Structure 1
Amino acid sequence: MSIEAVSALPPDMDLQESLRRELGEVVRTDPVALRAAQGDRSGHVSSEPPLAVVEARSTADVQAAMRFATAHRIPVVPRGAGSGLAGAAQAGGGELVVSTASMTRVLEISRDDELAVVEPGVVNADLNDQLAAHGLFWAPDPASRAISTVGGNIATNAGGLHCVKYGVTREAVLALEVVLADGRVIRTGHRTVKGVTGYDLTALMIGSEGTLGIVTEATLRLRPVPRGVPVTLSAAFDSVEQAARAASVMVASGVRPAVLELLDATALAGLGAYLDLDLGGRGAQLLVQTDGDAAEREAVDAETIIRTLGGRVERSATPEDGERLFEIRRAFHASNEAQGAVLIEDVAVPRSALPAMFAAIEAVQERYGIRIPTVAHAGDGNLHPNFVFEADTVDGFVEVPSHVWEAADELFQACLRLGGTLTGEHGVGLLKRRWLRDELGDDVLELQRGLKAVFDPLGLLNPGKAV
Structure 2
Amino acid sequence: METQFSAFDQADIINFLKTVVKDGQVKNDPTTLQSQSYSSKLAGDHQPAIAYVEAKSIADVQGTLKTARKFHLPVVTQNRFTSTVIGADAVNGGIILSTAAMDKILSLNVEDGYAVVEPGVINGELDKEARKHGLFYAPDPASKPFSGIGGNIGTNAGGLSGVRYGSTRDNVLGLKVVLADGRVLDLGGKTSKQAFGYNLTQLFIGSEGTLGVIVEATVKLMPLPLGKSLMGMAFFKDMPTLAKATTDLRMAGLYPSMLEAMDSNTLQAIDQFKQTTYSQAAGAALIFKIDMINDLTVPTVEKILTRYQASNVKMTSDEDEQAAIIELRQAMLLAIFTGRNAVMEDMAVPTSKLAELVAYIQQVSEETGIQIFTAGHAGDGNIHPTLTWSQDIKETPEGVTLALRKLFNKALELGGTISGEHSVGMLKNQWNNVELGADVDYLQHQVKALFDPMNLLNPKRKIN
Q: TM-score range with shorter-chain normalisation?
A: over 0.9
Match of 1:431 among 427, 445, 449: 427
Which amino acid in the other structure matches residue 15 of structure 1? I
Deviation at 1:299, TM superposition (A): 3.9
Alignment correspondent of 1:318: 318
Deviation at 1:249, TM superposition (A): 1.7
Cα distance in 1, alignment partners of residues 40 and 113 from structure 2: 33
Which amino acid in the other structure matches residue 401 of structure 1? P
Cα distance in 1, alignment partners of residues 10 and 40 from structure 2: 36
Match of 1:10 among 2, 8, 11: 8
8 Å contact from structure 1 (residues 41, 82) kept in 2: no
1:404–1:191 Cα change, 3 Å: same
Deviation at 1:302, TM superposition (A): 2.1
Counterparts of 1:245-284 in structure 2, within 5 Å, are 245-281=244-280, 282-284=282-284
Alignment correspondent of 1:449: 445
Deviation at 1:304, TM superposition (A): 1.4
1:299–1:75 Cα change, 3 Å: farther
Cα distance in 2, alignment partners of residues 53 and 461 from structure 1: 15
8 Å contact from structure 1 (residues 392, 399) kept in 2: no
8 Å contact from structure 1 (residues 63, 183) kept in 2: yes
Which amino acid in the other structure matches residue 454 of structure 1? L
Q: Deviations over 1:170-226 (max 9, x none)?
A: 110000000001111001001111001000001110000000000000001110111
Alignment correspondent of 1:410: 406
8 Å contact from structure 1 (residues 236, 285) kept in 2: yes
Q: Which moved more, 1:169-178 or 1:22-31?
A: 22-31
Cα distance in 1, alignment partners of residues 263 and 248 from structure 2: 18
**C-alpha RMSD of matched pairs (Å):** 1.9
Which amino acid in the other structure matches residue 327 of structure 1? E
Deviation at 1:436, TM superposition (A): 2.0
Alignment correspondent of 1:336: 336
Counterparts of 1:357-396 in structure 2, within 5 Å, are 357-391=357-391
Cα distance in 1, alignment partners of residues 421 and 298 from structure 2: 27
1:352–1:190 Cα change, 3 Å: same
**SS of 2:101 mapped into structure 1:** coil
Alignment correspondent of 1:151: 150
**SS of 2:21 mapped into structure 1:** helix
Deviation at 1:311, TM superposition (A): 1.3
Deviation at 1:13, TM superposition (A): 6.2
Cα distance in 1, alignment partners of residues 141 and 41 from structure 2: 15
**SS of 2:334 mapped into structure 1:** helix
Q: Deviations over 1:336-360 (max 9, x none)?
A: 1113111011000000001000011
Match of 1:19 among 17, 20, 39: 17
8 Å contact from structure 2 (residues 229, 317) kept in 1: no
Cα distance in 2, alignment partners of residues 105 and 126 from structure 1: 11
Deviation at 1:441, TM superposition (A): 1.2
Q: Deviations over 1:317-376 (max 9, x none)?
A: 622112211111111110111131110110000000010000110011111111111112
Cα distance in 2, alignment partners of residues 238 and 363 from structure 1: 16
**SS of 1:373 mapped into structure 2:** strand
Give 4+ residue runs of structure 1 displaced > 6 Å after superposition: none
**TM value normalised by structure 2:** 0.95
1:12–1:284 Cα change, 3 Å: closer
Which amino acid in the other structure matches residue 277 of structure 1? T
Cα distance in 2, alignment partners of residues 167 and 368 from structure 1: 35
Counterparts of 1:98-137 in structure 2, within 5 Å, are 98-137=97-136
**TM value normalised by structure 1:** 0.94
8 Å contact from structure 1 (residues 156, 427) kept in 2: yes
8 Å contact from structure 1 (residues 41, 83) kept in 2: no
Cα distance in 2, alignment partners of residues 164 and 43 from structure 1: 31
**SS of 1:245 mapped into structure 2:** helix
8 Å contact from structure 1 (residues 37, 90) kept in 2: yes
**SS of 1:89 mapped into structure 2:** coil
8 Å contact from structure 1 (residues 173, 221) kept in 2: yes
**SS of 1:243 mapped into structure 2:** helix
Alignment correspondent of 1:58: 57
How many residue pairs match? The answer is 458
Q: Equivalent pairs: percent with the same residue?
A: 39
Which amino acid in the other structure matches residue 441 of structure 2? L
Q: Deviations over 1:269-320 (max 9, x none)?
A: 111111110012311111111112x355334322211111221222136221
Alignment correspondent of 2:460: 464
Alignment correspondent of 1:229: 228
**SS of 2:437 mapped into structure 1:** helix
Counterparts of 1:83-102 in structure 2, within 5 Å, are 83-102=82-101
1:296–1:111 Cα change, 3 Å: farther
1:13–1:320 Cα change, 3 Å: closer
Long gaps (5+) in structure 2:
none
Q: Deviations over 1:82-131 (max 9, x none)?
A: 01111111113201111100001100000111000000000011111111
**SS of 1:280 mapped into structure 2:** helix
**SS of 1:125 mapped into structure 2:** helix
Q: Deviations over 1:18-68 (max 9, x none)?
A: 222332551111122211222236864763210111100011110111111
8 Å contact from structure 1 (residues 117, 219) kept in 2: yes
Cα distance in 2, alignment partners of residues 448 and 7 from structure 1: 34
Cα distance in 2, alignment partners of residues 22 and 111 from structure 1: 37
1:231–1:93 Cα change, 3 Å: same
Cα distance in 2, alignment partners of residues 7 and 205 from structure 1: 37
